[in-house]
Amino acid sequence: MPTILGTGAHRYEFVDNWAKLPPGREFNADVAAVGVDKQDRVYAFNRGKHPMVVLDRAGNFLRSWGEGLFPRAHGVYMAPDDTIWLTDDGDHTVRHCTLEGKVLLTLGIPGTPRPYMSGEPFHRCTHTALSPQGDLYVSDGYGNSRVHKFAPNGTLLRSWGEPGTDPGQFNIPHNICCDADGWVYVADRENHRVQVFDGNGKFETQWINMHRPSGLFMERGGQGRFFVGEIGGGMGVNYDMPNIGPRVSIYSHKGELLARLGQRPAGLEPGQFISPHGLAVDSHGDIYVGEVSYTNWRNRYKEQPHPPGLRSLQKLVKVG
């Protein structure tokens, strides 16, 4: 029997062992983020020996790149011009690359963070997004509580945000999207919400019915749905609490909850997640979920070795 997640119009079938990696190319590490290009090729940005692994829609290995360049993969943004923006929170940089891995632009000083909570870019930046006008937004991150807006040439235009829990403040701005109207959506992870701003950082609203949102993906089009990867309980007292994740949740463009995919605590069975950290949706509506499962396992089980079958990339195929 296939494993089906979701209900009604939002039903997805879990595909086991989807990624067919040749010997020596196995992830054996977190897949921090996923991107899908216009040909539905999948870009798995991971923390293994081969940071960018490119697969076709069937999961066949096509190529890898980025070796020696990315110490700690974190965020992927697929640009409309068939380029890719990659955020490395261990290197404190954002790199703009071709789909073959040629670096076109680097923002930030490699290996050099700005002072902790200084608000200066970057200190463990997390993700990027482009506005309709081509301006770049960067969520920053673990060592800052800011969003930075850059011109297409890399000039810093403005920044906003500070540590805290009030509107416009952040507790780990972990992911970011920008819609066709120029509104900016920020996954404010440890405040358990997505905050919505205009293009200059004016707070508009927030969505709060979620737990530790990490992945954030918006479908193309003016009123596309949002897919949110929620990484679940972060403390020993709620690791095994049901119905708070880890899961993938689907929202309308107005923040209305449409579906939850995954109701059980973290686990290895089909249809369970460990820690959905980054995700993307292809032209067929299938969902690719990158998980920081290796990191999460170490956090939860300390000295226990990683179990066989620990997944860090899942595919959910849309049903109907």
pTM of the model as a whole: 0.97
What does the alpha-carbon distance between residue 320 and residue 11 come to, in Å, rounded to a whole number?
8
DSSP 41-59: -EEEEESSSSSEEEE-TT-
Task: Output the CA angle 127-132-134, nearest 5 degrees.
Answer: 65
Give me the domains of the chain, ranges plus CATH numbers. 4-318 (2.120.10.30)
The per-residue pLDDT for 27 is: 92
Q: Which residue has the tokens 């923390």?
A: 47
pLDDT tens digits, one per residue of 204-256: 999 999 999 999 999 987 779 999 999 999 898 998 899 999 999 999 999 99
The per-residue pLDDT for 220 is: 84
- By the 10 Å C-beta count (0-12 exposed, 13-18 middle, 19+ buried), 171 is classed as middle
pLDDT tens digits, one per residue of 17-63: 899 999 988 999 999 999 999 999 999 999 999 999 999 999 999 99
Using DSSP's 3-state secondary structure scheme, residue 36 falls into: strand
The per-residue pLDDT for 12 is: 98
Element holding 296 (H helix, E strand): helix 293-301
Q: In the predicted model, what is the mean pLDDT of residues 113-134?
A: 97
**Strands 125-130 and 136-140: what pairing?**
antiparallel
Closest to 280 measured CA to CA, from 38, 6, 21:
38
Closest to 74 measured CA to CA, from 214, 192, 187, 207:
214
